[in-house]
Every structure is written in C-alpha cells, then in structure tokens.
Amino acid sequence: MRIAVVGSGYVGLVSGTCFADLGHEVVLIDNDESKLAALRRGEVPIHEKFLPELLARHRGQKIRFSNDLRAAARDSQAVFIAVGTPPTETGDADLSYVESVAREISGAMDEYTVIVEKSTVPVFTSQWIRTIILRNGAAPAAFDVASNPEFLREGTAVSDFLYPDRIVVGVENERCAEVLRHIYAPLTDGSYYRRADAIPRPDRAPASPPRLIVTSARSAELIKHASNAFLAMKISFVNAVATICESVGANVQQVCDGIGTDSRIGPRFLNPGIGYGGSCFPKDLMAFRAVARECGYDFRLLDEVIRINEEQRHRFLRKVRGVLWTLRGKRLAVLGLAFKGGTDDIRESPAILLVQELLREGCRVSAYDPAAMPRAQEVLNSSVEFTQDPYDAATGADALLILTEWEEFAVLDLARLRKLLKYPIVIDGRNLYDPATMAAQGFTYHSVGRPAALTGDLPAGIRADKGGPA
C-alpha cells in the first residue's frame, strides 16, 4: 500500500522504515529540511539496532523523504501521524502538532484515506482529528480516523515493531479496519517471518504471528496509556520493595525471583534500580493522570508511582553520600548516561539527573556511555570529563557509579578495574553484579535492595544507605 508517515522522530522513523520492510511504499514527512537531507544521505539520527540496515536497504526505493505533506496525503491510502505530543505545564499532552497535520491534510484527499494516529495521545483525540478535518472542508465519506498505538521500546524498537506481542487498531467501521488489516498482513499471516532477509527473531518474541486486536478508537487510545502506566507501576513497586529489603537486610533479587515466577505476575519489569526515564513513561503518566482528572477521577495510584520513581533517585544519591561521607572534591566515575541501555536517548534520564546533582554538590565526574555522550554533552556542563571507555573513566576515581544497564558494563574486567580506581568502591544502580563476586574481587560493593559487600574500607556499623550508624 501507499503510506505516508508524518514525523521522523523515534516512532515515525522506525514505523516508516518497518512499513517499507513489510513491502509498502512509504513517504516520510518532516518539516525539518536538515533532518530530511541527512536521511537522504543515509545518516541515521538515532541509535537503534537494525535501523541503519533497513534504511540502507529501502532508501530511495520503498522509502523516500519529503516536506510536502499535502502531496503525500493526496498520493497515500493511509496517513500515519507520528508527531510529537510533549507535555504542557499542567501535564496534558500538547496536541497542537497533531491538529496542524489534520488541518493540512483535510483538503488533500482525492480518494478514500485512513488517517491513523500513531503518536501517544489522550482519549478523544481521534474524534477531534475527525472534527478538524471536517471543519476544513473534507467530505465525511472521504476518510476515516483510526488509532494504532505503538508499543516500541527504545533500543529494540525495530524488533518490537516487526515481532510485536499484539497489534492494536482502534476503528469505528469495518472499512477502516480492513485497510489496517491489509497493512499489517505480512506480520499477522506470518509471511514476513518466512522471508530470508527478515530481521532476526528476538529471544523473547512470540513464536506465532501476532494477534491483531480490533477495538474502538477510544479503547485503543486508553490501551496505550494504561499499558505504560501499568509497566511504570511495576517498576515503582519493585523499587519500593527494594527499599524495604535494604531496611530488613533481605535480597530484592531473591524476592523478585520468588514473585516473578508467579505466572500471574511474571518477571519482566521487576528490575530494581534508580527509576524509569525516557520520553514515554514520565510523559504518558502525566497525560493519563490529566485525562483521569478531566473525567473527575483522582487517580492517586499514578501520583504514588511518580513519587516513588522520583524518590528512588534521591535514595541512590543518599547511598553515594553514605559511602563517601562527603562529596565535595570527590572524583566519581559514572558509567551510563542514557535512560536505558541500547539507546542514545537522555530525555528524563535518571543518570543525567544524578550527574547534575553530583556536580551541584561539588563532585568531579568522569563519564562514559557507548552511545549517549554526544547528546549528554549538550546538557551537562564542562565539569564532566567524557572518556573513551569505562576504564578511562575509572582511572583515579574515588568510586565507580553504574547508572545505565548497558550489557558491556556487566562484563567489565574487574581485576583491571580495581587497579585503576583510587578506592575499590562500586555503587551499582542497576544491580549488574553479584555482591559475593564483587567482594571476592576485593570491592566494596553497594547495589539496590541487596546487602552491601564490604571489604573493610568502611567503619563497622556504618550503613551506606542511611549515611550513619546502623
């Protein structure tokens, strides 16, 4: 089919490229000429596995780039809106970009067209899109509006798109549903997976083709917000449990193993750490909370999820203070700046927020991240020394802080690391190492929700998580 994707951010670029890999003819629309020029040259603006390969495969053939939205809408059977919906000061989603797209395409449809909201938007957005298009002169029978929420994780977005758990389409009639069924048919009928050039199946991907779930548009809009809110709740829940584990001397990893094997709960997202971040969870929780308030419901559970997440960073900072006593003048090595491993995205990154707090307290920071350093340099001041690898960052440092769960950070040469650090102290905000192993390697090791491994560098009776006598 002929598909237009409006917006070349994470969602738009990944979706458009994957639609091309499914065999559709795609035009990617953006009003940023410099970004379009870079894409035409084959440059990939985000760090995303498999995306460079797919763009190289389809650029100039199945996918092209344009700034002419009206022409693209006129030539397309489906238009996917994937523009930004940033939060306002009150937490509501800013839908001005969505409205602008709706106005511009209203007079450009020569044949029946399906307008698909792909951006994360609050309930009733599809209804408003239809209203805007009608107000600007389109015939009611010339188009339908659908909701097709994305469930993409940064770092694995291409695999998530091509090997989804499910595909949700919110429609109001069968004609519209049939268009979306046709678009996703290579996934739902399994034909894509039989191709020799298909992107490799991830380890956790379902073995069978994904189910396409057809709902009303309003239900689909709520599914996206409710999904992200529930996942954020799991993260905040396990972080709250980790706090209790630290207080009573239990091991949160053992607790997670015990509850995660319950088929009703499952092990995923039960990973204690320094909290969630990124472009989705913080924004979507605020937007969902705003929607609830507009409906007259005080969704206090979301307030607590957000509070626990913010508190988790403060707890980790107190842990660092407890281990080092004073922070001013200390040299700290930081591993990880992205909000999660596998991406260069630093939006709402707890690692960035912690580094900024450390700088305010007078620390000197040397940092390394495999992908996010160019973006981090734009927001962190010159007090941060960006290094070539984890060992350069650790050289001469008073302690090493692990803030992002990059796979390479879990397989460091511990003997080499111990020699490079001024003091053999590791404070792990992602629980990448086993405390007993770290103690055997001569480290004082602190993690989240697990007993500390002490090697004699701290006075007896001192609790690093409290910063004082036990």
Which one of the listed residues 18, 280, 295, 363 is annotated catalytic?
280
Q: What's the pTM?
A: 0.88
**Which residue segment(s) compose the domain that 176 sits in?**
2-201
Mean pLDDT of the chain: 92
Element (H, E) at 400: strand 399-402
Residues 293 and 324 in one domain: no
Percent of the chain with pLDDT over 90: 84
Angle formed at CA 379 by CA 229 and CA 51, multiple of 5 degrees: 60
Percent of the chain with pLDDT over 70: 97
Quick one: pLDDT band at residue 456, thresholds 50, 70, 90? low
Residues 182 and 298 in one domain: no
Residues 140 and 245 in one domain: no
Residues 438 and 454 in one domain: yes
Residues 443 and 327 in one domain: yes
- CATH code assigned at 249: 1.10.1040.10
Q: Looking at the predicted structure, is the pLDDT value of residue 84 above 80?
A: yes
- CATH code assigned at 143: 3.40.50.720
Final residue of a structural domain among 201, 232, 254: 201
Average pLDDT over residues 398-403: 98
What pLDDT is stored for residue 62 in this prediction? 96
Please state at what angle helix 125-135 crosses helix 96-105, rounded to 10 degrees.
40
In the chain, the number of structural domains is 3
In sequence order, what are the residues at sequence separation of 6 or more whose Cβ sits closer than 8 angstroms to the Cβ of residue 266? 260
CA distances from 41 to 17, 35, 48, 49 (A): 15, 10, 17, 19
456/453: higher pLDDT = 453
Answer yes or no: is 216 within a domain.
no
Verify whether residue 176 is a known catalytic residue. Answer: no
Final residue of a structural domain among 292, 307, 322: 307
DSSP SS3 for 199 = coil
Distance CA 330, CA 386 (A): 16
pLDDT digits (tens, 9 = 90+) for 135-177: 998 899 999 999 999 999 999 999 999 999 999 999 999 999 9
Quick one: pLDDT band at residue 108, thresholds 50, 70, 90? confident
Q: Looking at the predicted structure, is the pLDDT value of residue 90 above 80?
A: no
Quick one: pLDDT band at residue 459, thresholds 50, 70, 90? very low
DSSP 279-295: TTHHHHHHHHHHHHHHT
Strand 399-402 to strand 143-147: parallel, antiparallel, or no bridges (unpaired)? unpaired
